[in-house]
Amino acid sequence: MEATLPIVFAPGLGCTERLFAPQIADLGAWPFMTIDHRRHATLPEIAAAALAEAPERFALVGLSMGGYVAFEMLKAAPERIVRLALLDTTAYPDTEEARGRRRVLIAAAERDKLQSIHAATYPRYVHPARVKEPDLERVVRAMLVETGAPAFARQMTAILNRADFSEVPPTVACPTLVLVGDEDAPTPPEHARRMTAAIPGAELVIVPDCGHLSTLERPEAVNAALARLLAG
């Protein structure tokens, strides 16, 4: 794959371009853009805005909510996506318990309670052994503050109302990486295995000692997997 292929990064809920800082640094001269998913309250709107701003053909890397955006982009313009990386995400609907947690967090965002949101979500996002790691916590907190409560509420509303994407993986026609942390609580490895089985020729990578935010927790493993995908 030519090194000029643009890469489009789709961040997760409450995350910004910082989520992919280790990957962007590793890519060197590869051109890239990061989707701004703070402006809209539905995934189709986010995907449409991203496609309007993206290059004609590109590699797409989505983590968590970014994976949901990727599925919408695949539905709308599959011919434009040359390589696909689905990191710590799922094509499958929430449980009722998960939907209940999302409603609680939307209510907290509407009251501008970013600290309570961070306290509720951060321990679920990272490997249990890294919850008290100050540098990692600082980055995740900073991304949430940069996102802001109103945008977080819009993002969570979009996720809560997302479509069932289970029919999308079998339609993926480009080389695909499915990667997940072995201790990912929000989107566990069994979801990654199921997606990999559904996507023709997809590669599955399960990263050891890693939670939901693999790009920050285990950047070396993520970078190596992305390098294989982009070189294929």
| Contact indicator for 16, 143 with CB cutoff of 8 Å | yes
Cα 73 from chain centroid (whole Å): 13
Q: Where are the domains of the chain?
A: 7-94+157-231
Task: For the chain, give the percent of residues with pLDDT over 90.
Answer: 94
Instruction: Copy the structure tokens of residue 212.
Output: 């939901």
Q: Is the pTM of this model over 0.85?
A: yes
**Residue 18 corresponds to which amino acid?**
R
pLDDT in tens, 116-172: 999 999 999 999 999 999 999 999 999 999 999 999 999 999 999 999 999 999 999
Sign of CA dihedral 179, 152, 99, 51: negative
- Cβ atoms < 10 Å from Cβ of 125: 27
> How many Cα atoms within 13 Å fall on the side-chain side of residue 78?
11
Tens digit of pLDDT for each residue in 82-103? 999 999 999 999 999 999 999 9
Per-residue pLDDT reduced to its tens digit, 170-200: 999 999 999 999 999 999 999 999 999 999 9
Integer CA distances (angstroms), 10 to 20, 35, 119, in order: 9, 5, 24
Task: Please check whether residue 158 is in contact with residue 43, taking contact to mean a CB–CB distance below 8 angstroms.
Answer: yes
Helices first, then strands: H and E counts in the chain: 10, 6
CATH pick for 7-94+157-231 out of 3.40.50.1820, 3.40.50.1370, 3.40.50.720, 3.40.605.10: 3.40.50.1820
Give residues with Cβ within 8 angstroms of 205, minimum separation 6. Answer: 177, 178, 179, 180, 221, 225
- pLDDT score for 3: 53
